[in-house]
Chains A and B, each alone.
Chain A
């Protein structure tokens, strides 16, 4: 069905059109706005399914539609879009998750007076994200990437009357901008080296053999520069600082953007330009991939540790996202591209589920976000509890029924087979434990134990909010069907290898290891934090058990490892100093220069004026006087004597005569 390939642009166009129409609606027409947004998403979902079907035809299917955008001089700029298993799976996940979140938002944002604007921005974001996925040109991808960043800025700072939200939005934009700078340099280098920005162009694309050979050794640097963009967007260390602050936005925003889709764009980018990373690989190892593994490992561990010290329900989930993204980067780095992508897709579903569940809890507790003030919500909000529990178990990596378990399995499997070192493998195992630990902590604080201050008048959320939760929970479980090693359909789909159904493969040694680790994590969590739940009902939990045991460590984690403060002292301070220097330069140097020129102009003016007054005026006056004097002199020649006149006439006549004779 090449129709869909040529018209892939319709997939982002539908939400974009919805966004523009919503912007033109009056504020009162809420149902119209919500309806339009949802229709746009359904359209995108339908088209995504339509685009998904051809990719089932053959393994390694890739269909490209490129065209010339414009020509300048002799060069042409070509862009295009493509569909392949990677893009198709992402499209499906993004549109489905977005749809659930849109429906959830109808209930969550019901009391907000900027309802229409919210849906317009959400649709706009959706359009941009879909554009990133289907882009076949690095330029088109970058354009949509920036639009995604813009949408994120608009949505984080959605509640414009909150200064903290505005600051968080600014922080997010600037931090990702730093990453995008590297990305842009990478694009320039790539264009210069390979002469094209199209990924696949019938053999001429920059990711295909000819383009890569043209790049040669610089492919590593290009890959690393592009990775900068991914670091920024996916919140890897050191540019992760914006993601927790981004929780200032409404919870559906956190769910959509900072859990399921936008942050996944970074991982998607690495997967998309993987040939650049893996060019010239020796045993599946290149310098750029090693860097990716390094950063991913650091991020994953660091974020899980910090999550243990947070008390805001959304921040814990934010750090969890950062940690999981680090895990995905590790997976990509060690060569498990399919594993990483599978985890990305699964993560999209269950992280959205967790965030929406958190949103439901926040909504139920009347917009309270501190987990120390919640408790015992298990019986008060049963559906939320159940779905949240499913999400938590998926995230922790409980295998068999939960998709997260299987994907983590794959990743751990891949890290075992990395030839450089086994350190990432062990660290990821530790990460598994930590993940289970902090999620258990969160669950106990919120849902178990006695009720504390905020859970007094808690109520279950309306169906418009719980139905998407249930849907996402079902997806999380259902996805595991195609993820099991017994029938690794998704793996086969993504890598192009055929998938065999073999029940024996269900049980593997790795499986038991991870199962044990998860059990350890959950058990440890219950042991450490169980008591916290049984505090007196009218008191907030004073101190975290970990704080009891290791106060220094806890404070270190609670303050996010002081990274924000370090940045403030260093990078921000330096840029402030640079700004001051620039201001001084501008105020005194350049301004002085300009004023100097102004002075020159003034000088010229004075000179001109003087010249005019003294020179020209006087000259004119003198001429007048001279003329008058001359006139006086000449009038004196008139003697009044007739004979003189006659004589002069005679002389004149003689002169004319001579002249006439001469001329003739």
Chain B
């Protein structure tokens, strides 16, 4: 059976959920970043899948969005990791449970 759009979407949904799982269930700050990157990748997959399965001919919108998304993800990962390093320097921990300054 040729892979249908549904299948691709299912894979992307699964990937998204796994990313979410990673973000929610681990204590280390870097794990949250990993989870976020995974979620972004899943979304990219979604875009490209939709572009591939949409009626042709059409401009490569999905592909463009995916490219930009990757660029932004890279920038965001860089900043996020810089943040983690800064926090580690200041608080000497990367356990998010202990980073509760926002508690009100």
Contact = CB atoms under 8 A, between A and B. Distances in A.
What secondary structure prevails in chain A residues at the interface with B?
helix
Nearest to B97: A641
Size band of the interface chain A makes with B: 10 to 19
A640 B20 CA distance: 19
A472 B47 CA distance: 134
B6 interface: no
B104 to A, nearest CB: 4
Given A646-B23, A646-B24, A650-B20, A639 B100 contact: yes
B32 interface: yes
Contacts of B97: 641
B23 A638 contact: no
Nearest to B21: A650
A216 B102 CA distance: 108
A642 B32 contact: yes
Contacts of A650: 20, 24
Contacts of A646: 23-24, 32
Given A635-B104, A636-B104, A646-B32, A641 B20 contact: no
B103 interface: yes
Given A643-B32, A643-B96, A646-B32, A638 B104 contact: yes
A647 interface: yes
B39 to A, nearest CB: 10
Nearest to B31: A643
A640 B102 contact: yes
A661 to B, nearest CB: 14
Contacts of A641: 96-97, 100
Contacts of A640: 99-104
Nearest to B16: A650
B50 to A, nearest CB: 17
Contacts of B24: 643, 646-647, 650
A643 B101 CA distance: 14
Contacts of B101: 640
Nearest to B29: A642
Nearest to B103: A640
A255 to B, nearest CB: 109
B103 A639 contact: yes
Pick the most buried of A635, A643, A647: most chain B CB atoms within 10 A of its CB.
Answer: A643
A638 B104 CA distance: 5
Interface string B73-104: 00000000000000000000000110111111
Interface in B9-27: 20, 23-25
A646 B99 CA distance: 14
A642 B80 CA distance: 14
B20 A638 contact: no
Contacts of A647: 24
A502 to B, nearest CB: 135
Nearest to B100: A640
Nearest to A645: B102
Contacts of A638: 102-104
Interface in A620-664: 635-636, 638-643, 646-647, 650
B100 A643 contact: no
A647 B35 CA distance: 12
A355 to B, nearest CB: 111
B88 to A, nearest CB: 15
A117 B75 CA distance: 112
A635 B104 CA distance: 5
A646 B100 CA distance: 14
Nearest to A650: B20
B99 A642 contact: yes
A641 B104 CA distance: 11
Nearest to A653: B20
Given A647-B24, A650-B20, A650-B24, A642 B96 contact: yes
Contacts of A642: 32, 96, 99
Contacts of B103: 638-640
Contacts of B25: 643
A308 to B, nearest CB: 119
A307 B32 CA distance: 134
A476 B25 CA distance: 140
A381 to B, nearest CB: 122
Contacts of A639: 100, 103
A121 to B, nearest CB: 96
A104 B93 CA distance: 132
Nearest to B27: A643
A643 B23 contact: yes
21 contacts: A635-B104, A636-B104, A638-B102, A638-B103, A639-B100, A639-B103, A640-B100, A640-B101, A640-B102, A640-B103, A640-B104, A641-B97, A641-B100, A642-B32, A642-B99, A643-B24, A643-B25, A643-B96, A646-B23, A646-B24, A646-B32
Q: Which 3 A-B pairs have the closest CB atoms?
A: A640-B100, A640-B103, A635-B104
Given A635-B104, A643-B23, A647-B24, 15 more contacts: A638-B102, A638-B103, A639-B103, A640-B100, A640-B102, A640-B103, A641-B96, A641-B97, A641-B100, A642-B32, A642-B96, A643-B32, A646-B24, A646-B32, A650-B20
Interface of A: 635-636, 638-643, 646-647, 650
Interface of B: 20, 23-25, 32, 96-97, 99-104
